[in-house]
Structure 1
Amino acid sequence: MTTTLSRPVSGPFEKTPGWLDWYDGPAKPAFVLPAGAVDAHCHVFGPGAEFPYAPERKYTPCDAGKADLFALRDRLGFTRNVVVQATCHGADNAAMVDACLSSGGRARGVATVRRSVSDAELERLHAAGVRGVRFNFVRRLVDFTPKDELMEIAGRIARLGWHVVIYFEAADLEGLWDFFTALPTTVVVDHMGRPDVTKPVDGPEFGLFLRFMRENPNVWSKVSCPERLSVTGPKALGGERAPYRDVVPFAARVVAEFPDRVLWGTDWPHPNLKDHMPDDGLLVDFIPAIAPTAALQRKLLVENPMRLYWPEEAV
């Protein structure tokens, strides 16, 4: 049985040609999430008529607003969300903040801010539920921001107890190492730094990422987005339900070695996917393949995100 979410409503923008609409009939996962589970990486897009997309955006998505995000949350069995600012909205965090404020305390946010942001605005974001900022180093998605500006922002948000989320590609880690290790906050890496899963899990490229985490105890990682990393694709093999099997060794390695510093999220509504749009129910069924015990699953989905985003409620 599937549940159909509402379809995106056309706004004043035409979406980028080739953009895949999010999948509106997610399967009910076979894996039952632990009580209090957090989807620690998801987005909202608009709706554009209410929350216009940034003029400098690199893409125009379909609308995917808070009502559909919360419907997906309930369908999959999550309790809470962490809404990460989408690059198509630039530094206008209004859609993300609105989702947090409308969640009844069940959503926290990760913002994008510029050097010009005022202390009053940072305080307003904090009151709305923002607990981090995102620095994006994927050049096809954003224009380069000078590192001195980013470091200044990191120093200011550290005083609020926020963290920095970094998004980069595996080949760029070595060149960014010194900057990342100088950040004065907890640092959360999106999607394991996008490893090339055709290379060995014990090879030098992924080994550099593992060393980055070992040598820097303030670094966490999201073990999410297998649909972005996989070469074999979503089809489960050998009668197993878990998809994206070629990503499993990488994510499982991170979970096993750093169980107290990992997070997981759907990445709904899956920005910039060109080949296929994942079934979010099947993505949830990826979790027990990378976190095979109840203790690891609870750390990944409940204890770690609560400690980072709702520390006042963490056990």
Structure 2
Amino acid sequence: MNAVPWQLPVGSWDTHVHVFDPANYPYAPSHAYSPVPALYSQLLAFGGSLAQSGEAENIVIVQPSPYGTDNSLILDKLVELQAEKTRREVRAIAVINPDNITDSELDHMQALGVRGIRVNTEATGEEVGYDKLRAQIENAVMKIRRFENWRCQLFVSGDNWPHLAETIRDLPIKVIADHQGGMKGLSALPANVTDVTRQAGFAELMSLAKAEKLFIKISGFYRSSKLTTGGYEDLEPLIMAFAKEVPDQLIWGSDWPHTGSSANRTEANKDVPEQFRVVNNVAVLKNIRKWVGRDVWYKMTVATPAKVYL
């Protein structure tokens, strides 16, 4: 039997990566953790190791929480890359304070390749009330609504979707739901939950995706599973359900360099350099390719992200 072709095709997109350079770009005072460096050169080497072409394909750099709303590292890298002559497209997702960012700053971001903003409630582990979260999303989106090609990227727990669904349906731009939309595999669900499609928030997430209000990012499997080795086999029913129900609303991201969990972070250790997880990315890609099939694999790695980020 022939092995399933798991390598990323030419023209594919890794829609979720971070870069960290604390020596040149110190973390924000509000940072909840201090990851060790993960430089752009290392990112390219990583991408090349997974690609059919042997070179990193298209990339979306996502502003990570330790930098707060200071997007300098990403923006400086985008300026630098504008002089590069490669077929690789590089886009970015920023984090903003809608109360003090100017329209000219947003125009500059758009020109450089920023294609959206991120709202992240998961990195610090702090509880955020539903009313506050809805207001946070609405305020940020109102600031960027004139950019039809921008997205609002949400990293929230899965049980938020019933409380956010109405707000998201009314937004003038589309949403990207990070890391399986916060859905979990059986290893990370209560023992009385035996069907991943019956977990809190799943129905609302599917409804939003079917209404084409939302894209689901298949990424960071360790955020949806308690398994610690291999390709996170317990996520097979969840990913297959996504592929069956909303094949045109999926995108893939590696989540490189694989930051840790907020469960291990405290005020006392926030300045201790945090190492990244060790992840078998080949096993993960092999599983995704096997679970979703050839057509959905092409959609989620090539066709759909090209529409989302260009």
Corresponding letter in the other structure for 1:132: G
Instruction: Name the CA shift for 1:95/1:232 in 2 (closer, same or farther; >3 Å).
Output: same
The equivalent residue for 2:97 is 114
Unaligned runs of 5+ in 2: 187-192, 265-275
Give the number of equivalent residue pairs.
272
* Of 137, 152, 163, the match for 2:139: 152
Secondary structure class of the residue paired with 2:248 = coil
User: C-alpha distance in 1, partners of 2:277/2:140?
Assistant: 36
User: C-alpha distance in 2, partners of 1:179/1:290?
Assistant: 32
Corresponding letter in the other structure for 2:207: R
User: C-alpha distance in 2, partners of 1:143/1:57?
Assistant: 16
Secondary structure class of the residue paired with 1:263 = strand
- C-alpha displacement of 1:53: 0.6
Structure 1 residue 94 and structure 2 residue 110: aligned?
no
User: C-alpha distance in 1, partners of 2:19/2:254?
Assistant: 12
User: C-alpha distance in 2, partners of 1:247/1:49?
Assistant: 37
Aligned 1:247-266 pairs, distance under 5 A: 247-266=235-254
The equivalent residue for 1:68 is 42
User: C-alpha distance in 1, partners of 2:197/2:68?
Assistant: 37
Superposed CA offset, 1:155-202 (max 9, x none): 231212211111111122222333333322011101122223223123
Corresponding letter in the other structure for 1:100: L
User: C-alpha distance in 1, partners of 2:256/2:108?
Assistant: 26
Aligned 1:152-171 pairs, distance under 5 A: 152-161=139-148, 162-171=150-159
CA RMSD of aligned residues (A): 2.3
Unaligned runs of 5+ in 1: 1-28, 236-242, 311-315
- C-alpha displacement of 1:127: 1.2
Asked if structure 2 preserves the Cα contact closer than 8 Å seen for 1:61 and 1:271, the reply is: yes
Secondary structure class of the residue paired with 1:291 = helix
The equivalent residue for 2:57 is 79
- C-alpha displacement of 1:208: 3.6
Q: Percent of aligned positions with the same letter in both sequences?
A: 26
User: C-alpha distance in 2, partners of 1:257/1:234?
Assistant: 28
Superposed CA offset, 1:109-144 (max 9, x none): 000011210001001111111001011232735685
Structure 1 residue 59 and structure 2 residue 33: aligned?
yes
User: C-alpha distance in 2, partners of 1:286/1:102?
Assistant: 35
The equivalent residue for 1:7 is none
Aligned 1:233-272 pairs, distance under 5 A: 233-235=228-230, 243-272=231-260
Instruction: Name the CA shift for 1:252/1:124 in 2 (closer, same or farther; >3 Å).
Output: same
Structure 1 residue 135 and structure 2 residue 131: aligned?
no
Instruction: Name the CA shift for 1:151/1:308 in 2 (closer, same or farther; >3 Å).
Output: same
- C-alpha displacement of 1:98: 2.9
Asked if structure 2 preserves the Cα contact closer than 8 Å seen for 1:85 and 1:112, the reply is: yes
* Of 34, 38, 41, the match for 2:9: 34
Q: Which has the higher helix share?
A: 2
Corresponding letter in the other structure for 1:54: A
Instruction: Name the CA shift for 1:30/1:276 in 2 (closer, same or farther; >3 Å).
Output: farther
The equivalent residue for 2:268 is none
- C-alpha displacement of 1:74: 1.6
TM-score, normalised to structure 2's length? 0.80
TM-score, normalised to structure 1's length? 0.79
Instruction: Name the CA shift for 1:136/1:179 in 2 (closer, same or farther; >3 Å).
Output: farther
The equivalent residue for 2:278 is 277
Instruction: Name the CA shift for 1:260/1:30 in 2 (closer, same or farther; >3 Å).
Output: closer
User: C-alpha distance in 1, partners of 2:164/2:136?
Assistant: 15
- C-alpha displacement of 1:276: 4.7
User: C-alpha distance in 2, partners of 1:177/1:147?
Assistant: 10
Secondary structure class of the residue paired with 1:300 = helix
Secondary structure class of the residue paired with 2:293 = coil
- Which deviates more, 203-212 or 262-271? 203-212
The equivalent residue for 1:299 is 299
- Which deviates more, 173-182 or 68-77? 173-182
Corresponding letter in the other structure for 2:308: L
User: C-alpha distance in 2, partners of 1:194/1:253?
Assistant: 15
User: C-alpha distance in 2, partners of 1:83/1:60?
Assistant: 18
- C-alpha displacement of 1:210: 1.9
Asked if structure 2 preserves the Cα contact closer than 8 Å seen for 1:248 and 1:289, the reply is: no
